[in-house]
Amino acid sequence: MDKNSIISKFKPDNDNLLNILHELQNTNPNNYLSTDDLKLVAKYLNTTYSSVYGVVKYYSMFSLKPRGKYVIRVCKSPLCHMIDGNGLIEHIKQNIGIGLGETTNDHVFSVEASECIGHCDEAPVIMINDKVYKGLDSEKIKEIFQGIKSNQ
């Protein structure tokens, strides 16, 4: 779907801003918002580029830089941290070669830190795009990435 038709699904009210930004970002193969996206949205909502930019910068789920097709969010909140330490980040690195805040050169994976994602009873937890993976250890992490890679 082209960007204009994504945006025009929403009423041009400012209270739709975050919903619109999510939709644009989710339909972008690199999971990010481009300068052109922000300009388009600003025009549609009859506001300024700078105010849309300011909003995007505030919220940690939005990225202004191209990310991988798969955005991996590792929970670093107290409970997951207590159960896991830095284990998951190490295991992920072993599988795809990147650490927190990095994107693979082929733009397949990005790894980010996240705060509690509400599955603390099955810690430690990560999210890959919109799916949650729970009760993880090195074996399970390996399986997850083998699965993704074989689907590529």
Binding site for ligand FES (CB under 6 A): 75, 77, 79-80, 116-120, 123, 125
**73 interface partner picked from another protein, ligand FES, none, CB below 5 to 8 A per type:** another protein
Interacting residues with another protein between 31 and 60 (CB under 8 A): 45, 54-55, 58-60
Nearer to another protein, 79 or 94 (CB): 79
Residues 6+ apart with CB under 8 A from 32: 25, 62, 63, 64, 65, 66, 67
Nearer to another protein, 15 or 106 (CB): 15
Greatest Cα pair distance in the chain: 50
Helix (H, G, I), strand (E, B) or coil at 68: coil
**28 interface partner picked from another protein, ligand FES, none, CB below 5 to 8 A per type:** none
Nearer to ligand FES, 101 or 118 (CB): 118
114 neighbors 121 (Cβ within 8 angstroms): no
Q: For the chain, give the number of residues.
A: 152
Strands of the 109-114 sheet, one edge to the other = 109-114, 70-75, 126-128, 131-133
**58 interface partner picked from ligand FES, another protein, none, CB below 5 to 8 A per type:** another protein
